[in-house]
Homo-oligomer: A and B are copies of this chain.
Amino acid sequence: MAKHIGAETVVFSKPVSIIAAASTAGTKEGEGPLGKLFDRVLTDNMAGEETWEAAESAMVKDNLSILFEKSGVRPDFIFAGDLQNQCCGTNYGVKDIKIPTFGIFDACATFGEALALAAMTVDGGAAENVAAGVSSHFCSAERQFRFPLELGNQRPQTSTYTVTGAGAAMVSNKDVPPYITAFTIGKIVDYGVNDANNMGAAMAPAAAECISAHLRDTVRAADYYDLIVTGDLGYVGKELLLQLLKNEGIDIADNHTDCGIEIFDKASQDTHAGGSGCACSAAVFAAMLYKRLKKGELNKILLVPTGALMSPTSIQEGKSILGAAYAVAIENGVIKWNI
């Protein structure tokens, strides 16, 4: 039975497990520091398809099949989303799998939303096994949000590099660690940022609000967690996040990292402020964080996928970029919440 505590948080007192995680990465991600940890690394970012969009859908389908195989189950439902207009990366990716799918969208924070909804669905008894998965593709994202790649535009130093990849987790009522013990749905934060090449600045205030609300709602100190891992703030957003939380008296300098920082090597890969995209947090979770939890190297993490809500139309119409964040507590023990 889930319980709603504080302003924005839901806690689970019975086991809601993540029994498997799967990751697929593009060529550049495969050359990065986590390259050997991904389940699949593309040898060509077209993935045998004729368009980037179709390549993304192919990754979605293939990564889910890896997840089904690793977990040994075919889920009752899928929660999935991506960055393509009308979530086409997901829809054309799942259509042949023939499992009822809930389409969700929260920009690059979608993996957090997927885990939260999958956990509620399993906890409430509506399903035994639910897959949560997301994807992104550098080329489909650039074409859609910024400039045709053929223009060869220079990317400013504050920009992040959309991860080509897919990540997914199988959430289950089987009692196997690690468990999803709580989640916090951050409020949308409008900090007035309207530079589409500086998403880190737009998202950091939302991440700060969400982490702060999570710690307040759960009555936990920041150092309760072995690691607080934001999704794709990158180097620019990370500095802002640490400062914003410090202003509230919360210091996470020693136990924070960001998936956008982990996935590329800054010195050699020319990715500027770091990685981003729905797949950034999901693939890093599946490839690295989940494995470290299974090994007991980490026992309590707070995964905080972050999203920048905007479209080219909203930017052209002068709207600021909205920040969103979902915090998901993943721990090796079940928590008997009595808040």
A-side residues, CB < 8 A to B, are: 1-4, 7-8, 10, 50-51, 53-54, 76-77, 81, 83-88, 91-92, 94-95, 98-107, 113, 116-117, 120-121, 123-128, 144, 185-188, 190, 309-314, 317, 319, 322, 324
Q: Are B125 and A2 in contact (CB under 8 A)?
A: yes
Query: What is the CA–CA distance of A187 and B77 in the complex, to the nearest angstrom?
Result: 10
Task: Say whether chain A's binding surface is mostly helix, strand, loop, or mixed.
Answer: mixed
User: Is the beta-carbon distance between A85 and B312 smaller than 8 angstroms?
Assistant: yes
- Pairwise interchain contact B2-A100, C-beta atoms closer than 8 A: no
Which listed residue, B3, B10, B91, touches A188 by the CB 8 Å rule?
B91
| Shortest distance from the beta carbon of A5 to any chain B beta carbon, whole Å | 10
Contacts of A128 in B (CB 8 A): 4
Least CB distance, A129 to chain B, in whole angstroms: 10
The complex places the Cα of A91 from the Cα of B113 at a distance, in Å, of 15
Quote the shortest CB–CB distance from A295 to chain B (angstroms): 31
Residues from chain B with Cβ under 8 Å of A94 in the complex: 188
Residue of B whose beta carbon sits closest to that of A96: B190
- Tell me the bound Cα distance from A190 to B57 in angstroms: 15
Min distance, Cβ A218 to any Cβ of chain B, angstroms: 15
Query: A125, B309: Cβ atoms under 8 Å?
Result: no
